[in-house]
């Protein structure tokens, strides 16, 4: 049976046998050396192949500046020695904040971001010897939350198209206005301004976030947006991302251009991106691959691939043992979700062998993740390996893996969706199991 199960594997043989019984080809290697190989990135040399995904903490100060918990989390990630620390989703417009505690980058918060970068650089220097003297690459993710915006704690959606699969989730009425082309033109300039500020703050690169159903991601699926420069054809739907990338490269050429891209959101055609028109349960990467080609032409150097929309079939992007509070488990084994994410990254990497592609979906594998990740690297199914939820729970996983040859089972992420539940509640976000002195689930109300 392929239905949902919680993690119960005591051995690699058991894990791989289950994968085989599900018809999945899961790469696996006993040799973890590939994880610690250096990797060239945009004129720099990463000391290893492991990065930490952008993990939203919803713990900014009252003006959107990095708060005490933001600094704590980023310092811990830097001390891990990972080659890239990818800073979380940072809003560049008040209207586009996912919650009142989301980071916001503007003139008024610039000094706070400068201090954050300085703190992270200091933490990074403490492990430079282990990283062969190579400074960590710091990437800042820039975003507009779009239909999921809650700048004051209540829904204030900004949408690019109406979507019958998502609109009802947030009470969006059929007469809710779409963001105009003129406003999208101005939003491009806001992304460029934020990129310049990120460079001034000391970041090495910026990520134009285009995943998980947020505004730029939704534009990629806006086939039903009529009479618009940003809707209909792929050329139009890709316009915002491509033109913004062009402007960033022109105005801040020293920045590494990155993108966290949702390859496949599982929303039925014509409202989804990367979805097989005949079967929403299957991906069709023709358009995502075409988009990536356009972005590479504009100077894209780093691509972090993902899938799914957390509010709609969350398991497509985050295979879990337990759903978020109030959610339900899918009729799909989490290994199927892991294998899907591994396969999506591999398909992109095969088409763009020179592009730094970051794979995802490893946290559910617990102590077996390094072996699957090493197998992926050996088969050239990705250039870099990204960890998300596991890093919340176990920020020092990489030193343990390097120095001890394995991971501590008492520190691993249990994919209980506690961190996702905290984010939905408005934060602050962290691991409620391994860091429970700091993070606790809100009390349930009847």
The domain spans of the chain are 12-424
Total-model pTM: 0.96
Check residue 357 and give its pLDDT.
Answer: 98
* CA gap 51, 273 in Å, rounded: 26
State how far the alpha carbon of 196 is from the alpha carbons of 247, 259, 357, in Å: 11, 16, 25
Q: Residue range 392-398: average pLDDT?
A: 97
Question: Residues 345, 357: contact at Cβ < 8 Å?
Answer: yes
> Comparing C-alpha atoms, which of 366, 385, 264, 370 is closest to residue 315?
264
- pLDDT of 124 reads 84
Q: Considering the chain, what is the average pLDDT of its residues?
A: 95
Res. 127: pLDDT tops 80: no
What number is the average pLDDT over the span 97-120? 97
pLDDT at 4: 96
Give the residue-averaged pLDDT of 417-421: 97
Share of the chain above pLDDT 90, in %: 94
Q: Tell whether the model's pLDDT for residue 62 goes beyond 70.
A: yes
Pick the closest to residue 426 from 90, 169, 59, 94 (CA basis).
Answer: 59
What's the rounded Cα separation, in Å, for the pair 12 and 367? 10
DSSP 13: H
Q: What is the reported pLDDT for 129?
A: 47
Res 15: pLDDT: 98
Q: What is the distance in angstroms between the CA of the first residue and the CA of the last residue of the chain? A: 35
**What kind of architecture, by CATH, is found in domain 12-424?**
Alpha-Beta Barrel (3.20)
Task: With cut-offs at 50, 70 and 90, classify the pLDDT of residue 383.
Answer: very high
User: What integer pLDDT is reported at residue 443 of this predicted model?
Assistant: 85
Rounded to an integer, the average pLDDT of 301-311 is 96
What pLDDT digit, counting tens, does each position of 183-223 carry?
Answer: 999 999 999 999 999 999 999 999 999 999 999 999 999 99
- Calculate mean pLDDT across residues 386-397: 97
Confidence (pLDDT) at 186: 98
H/E segment holding residue 400: helix 397-404
* Spatial separation of the C-alpha atoms in residues 237 and 129, rounded to whole Å: 45
The per-residue pLDDT for 445 is 60
> For 349-382, what is each residue's pLDDT tens digit?
999 999 999 999 999 999 999 999 999 999 999 9
> Is the distance from CB of 381 to CB of 345 less than 8 angstroms?
yes
Mention every residue, 6+ apart, whose C-beta is less than 8 A from residue 213: 146, 147, 148, 166, 262, 265, 309, 310, 311, 312
Helix and strand tally (H, E) in the chain?
13, 12
Which structure tokens are listed for 204? 């090495």
Alpha carbon 3 to its chain's center: 26
Distance CA 203, CA 85 (A): 10
φ/ψ of 39, rounded to 5, equals -150, 130
User: What pLDDT score was predicted for residue 384?
Assistant: 98
Question: Are the CB atoms for 105 and 190 separated by under 8 Å?
Answer: no
Q: Which helix (H) or strand (E) holds 392?
A: helix 389-393
- For 257, list phi and psi in degrees, rounded to 5: -95, 120
Cis previous bond, 428, omega within 30 = yes
Examine the pLDDT at 398 and tell me if it is beyond 80. Answer: yes
Arithmetic mean of pLDDT, 276-305 = 98
* Token output for 70: 């933001």
Predicted local distance difference test score (pLDDT) of residue 128: 58
Do 198 and 248 contact (CB within 8 A), yes or no? no
Does residue 39 carry a pLDDT above 50? yes
Closest CA to 105 of 92, 86, 118: 92
CA distance 266 to 332: 14
pLDDT digits (tens, 9 = 90+) for 220-239: 999 999 999 999 999 999 99
**Predicted local distance difference test score (pLDDT) of residue 1:** 46
* Strand-pair partners of 403: none
The pLDDT score that the predictor gives to residue 133 is 56
For 136, the token pair is: 């960590």
């Amino acid at each position: 049976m392929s239905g949902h199960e919680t993690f119960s594997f005591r051995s690699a043989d058991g894990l791989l046998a289950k994968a085989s019984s599900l018809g999945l080809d899961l790469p696996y290697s006993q040799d973890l050396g590939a994880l610690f190989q250096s990797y060239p990135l945009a004129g720099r040399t990463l000391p290893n192949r492991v990065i930490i995904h952008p993990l939203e903490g919803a713990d900014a100060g009252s003006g959107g500046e990095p708060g005490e918990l933001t600094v704590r989390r980023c310092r811990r990630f830097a001390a891990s020695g990972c080659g890239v620390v990818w800073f979380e989703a940072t809003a560049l417009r008040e209207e586009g904040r996912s919650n009142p505690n989301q980071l916001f980058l503007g003139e008024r918060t610039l000094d706070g971001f400068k201090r954050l970068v300085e703190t992270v650089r200091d933490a990074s220097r403490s492990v430079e010897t282990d990283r062969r003297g190579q400074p960590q690459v710091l990437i800042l993710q820039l975003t507009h939350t779009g239909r999921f915006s809650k700048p004051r704690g209540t829904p204030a959606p900004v949408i690019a198209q109406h979507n019958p699969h998502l609109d009802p989730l947030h009470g969006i009425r059929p007469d809710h206005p779409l963001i105009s082309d003129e406003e999208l033109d101005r939003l491009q300039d806001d992304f460029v301004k934020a990129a310049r500020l990120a460079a001034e703050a000391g970041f090495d690169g910026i990520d134009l976030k285009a995943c998980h159903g947020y505004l730029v991601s939704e534009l990629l699926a806006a086939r039903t947006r009529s009479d618009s420069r940003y809707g209909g054809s792929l050329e139009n739907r890709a316009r915002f991302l491509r033109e913004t990338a062009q402007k960033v490269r022109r105005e801040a050429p020293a920045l590494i251009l990155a993108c966290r891209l949702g390859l496949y959101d599982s929303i039925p055609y014509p409202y989804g991106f990367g979805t097989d028109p005949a079967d929403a349960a299957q991906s069709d990467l023709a358009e995502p691959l075409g988009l990536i080609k356009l972005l590479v032409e504009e100077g894209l150097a780093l691509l972090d691939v993902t899938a799914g929309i957390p509010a709609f079939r969350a398991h497509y992007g985050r295979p879990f043992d337990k759903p978020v509070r109030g959610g339900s488990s899918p009729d799909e084994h989490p290994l199927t979700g892991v294998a899907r994410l591994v396969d999506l990254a591999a398909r992109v990497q095969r088409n763009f062998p020179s592009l730094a592609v970051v794979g995802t979906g490893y946290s559910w594998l617990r102590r077996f993740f390094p072996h699957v990740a090493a197998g992926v690297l050996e088969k050239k199914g990705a250039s870099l390996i990204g960890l998300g939820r596991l890093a919340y729970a176990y920020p020092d996983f990489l030193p343990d893996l390097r120095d001890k040859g394995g991971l501590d089972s008492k520190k691993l992420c249990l994919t209980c969706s506690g961190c996702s539940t905290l984010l939905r509640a408005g934060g602050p976000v962290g691991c409620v199991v391994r860091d429970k002195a700091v993070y606790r689930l809100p009390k349930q109300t009847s």
